Amino acid sequence: LESSKEKIAVVGVGPVGSLLSLALAKRGYSVEAFERRPDMRKVAIGAGRSINLAVSFRGLHALKEVGLEAQVLEKAIAMRGRLMHAISGELTYQPYGLDDSDCIYSSSRSELNKILMTKAEATGNVRIHFDHKVEDVPEFAHVIGTDGSASAMRRAMHVPSQEDELDYGYKELEIPAGPGGAFLMEKHALHIWPRGTFMLIALPNFEGSFTCTLFLPKHGCLSFDQLTGPSEVEAFFKKNFPDALALMPDLTAQFFANPLGHMPKLKCYPWNQGGKVLLMGDAAHAIVPFFGQGMNCGFEDVSYFMRMLETAPDWETLFTEFGKVRKPNADAIADMALENFLEMRDRVADPKFLLEKEVEKLLQKEFPGKYYSRYALVTFSRIPYREALLRGQANDRILATLCEGITSANDVDLKKAKALLLNAPSLSAH
Ligand SMILES: Cc1cc2nc3c(=O)[nH]c(=O)nc-3n(C[C@H](O)[C@H](O)[C@H](O)COP(=O)(O)OP(=O)(O)OC[C@H]3O[C@@H](n4cnc5c(N)ncnc54)[C@H](O)[C@@H]3O)c2cc1C
């Protein structure tokens, strides 16, 4: 579509809205963007949601398309695997890929957002109106709603939606840096304390601290409801996360000062109203955070949108086709993110699961280009999420067959593996 004189309105200048504004501006469009909050480059904004987040291949690809990959990576920390902490303090490491290049990057959410806003404004084609809460679809020819999971645009469009919330909450807690900015745990890993129905995770920050997130049911016998005072919190951590507790000198003060976060899940459709309004990012598909893909998926939305813009005959076709292409993939990552919750909090401590992961690693090594783990497809490729989901289901069947009756990955029958892989569906080129 030609970059006509009509301005495009972007509602919500979070990570996805700021990336979209920048991408449109670079393509010659004029953007008027509206953001409910004040300018975070001038005013310190409360922690809100997740201080840091994991950026992976899909997100990095979208950043590369606007020339920002290197700048974002400058202050990101590579996480090359999961480091599991047992109650005993024993550590188990699971690399994400076959070598160190397969990693995800812990980045500051606000830094990322600030870079994107600054670059967008620097094009001269984007005007961001801060402290501007939009309540109804603004009077522009084309409006893109990137206003997050509680999207006012979505409500104004009366889109049929399925909205609910995980009955878990989360609380962020900091492990401060050591003397001289030293990392007090392994720097290049995503730390997990899996404890069955709940878990703690930690991601490294550039300046040496870690941001931990406690995921726990909101109600019930082991829940946030029970952690009513400092002694309960202290006892809970002492029992379940003693090594983390030792690194958190002011745990209880933090615990009661920081808000309890909620995790909305949202599926809706259609995402557009003719060629007038379109939803993107969390406004169209909010998912639970356990695959580290929410923002990556939103960034991929922007990539797809910009590519489709090149050839679309008109705005209505563009908006409609965008929803058709992205919806099955957004649904797929939503389902995989929920499954990954069970994997992270529970299965990573299960010997059967660990054996399957070992066998999986072996298959990746023995059959390069033939076997890909679902994790790798989601995190280190741009294969559509839906395809990754289907391939993952095929993998599960292969792994279950190969692990039958063995206790060590060394005993896996490679001939049988080869035969099973021959029948696996092939992947589309991406
Ligand atoms: C605990 C947690 C951890 C996560 N970890 C990861 C991770 O590791 N990797 C990953 O990829 N994703 C992660 N996510 C998901 C990620 O945070 C979201 O997918 C991402 O923030 C979505 O970006 P967005 O721009 O679509 O929406 P949002 O980030 O919600 O931004 C929406 C913007 O719109 C503004 N806004 C809202 N309403 C209005 C209005 N009416 N008018 C004007 N402006 C408005 C808001 O102020 C905000 O700036 C995590 C989420 C959580 C909760």
Per residue in 79-108, pLDDT (tens digit) is 999 999 999 999 999 888 878 889 999 999
Output the CA 10–ligand 1 centroid distance in Å: 15
Cα–ligand 1 centroid distance for 304 (angstroms): 19
Mutate to test the pocket of ligand 1, among 19, 49, 79, 290 (most ligand atoms within 8 A of CB): 49
Give the distance (Å) from ligand 1 centre to CA of residue 138.
Answer: 21
Residue 161 scores a pLDDT above 70:
yes
Contact 302 CB / ligand 1 (< 6 Å)? no
Ligand 1 centroid, distance to 72 Cα (angstroms) = 18
Instruction: Decide whether any atom of ligand 1 lies within 6 Å of the 211 Cβ.
Output: no
Average pLDDT along the chain: 94
The residues, ordered by sequence, that sit 6+ positions from 338 with a Cβ below 8 Å of its Cβ are 265, 287, 288, 290
Q: How far apart are CA 49 and CA 72, in angstroms?
A: 19
pLDDT, position 423: 79
pLDDT at site 418: 94
Q: What totals of helices (H) and strands (E) does the chain contain, helices first?
A: 14, 16
Say what the pLDDT of residue 5 is. Answer: 64
Minimum-distance ligand 1 atom for the alpha carbon of 170: 1
pLDDT computed for residue 428 by the predictor: 66
C-alpha of residue 115 to centroid of ligand 1, in Å: 16
Q: Is the CB of 169 inside a 6 Å radius of any atom of ligand 1?
A: no
186 DSSP 8-state letter: -
> In the predicted model, is pLDDT for residue 152 greater than 80?
yes
Q: How far apart are CA 143 and CA 16, in angstroms?
A: 14
Report yes or no: 338 and 290 within 8 Å, Cβ to Cβ: yes
- Higher pLDDT, residue 319 or 2: 319
Q: Is the CB of 108 under 6 A from ligand 1?
A: no
Mean pLDDT, range 210-237, rounded to an integer: 97
Tell me what pLDDT residue 6 has.
76
Q: Is the pLDDT of residue 384 over 60?
A: yes
148 CA distance to ligand 1 centroid (A)? 5
Extract the tokens encoding 313.
């005959």
418 lines ligand 1 (CB under 6 A): no
DSSP character string of 139-160: SSSEEEE---TT-HHHHHHT--
238 neighbors 229 (Cβ within 8 angstroms): no
Mean pLDDT of 37-60: 87
C-alpha of residue 282 to centroid of ligand 1, in Å: 6
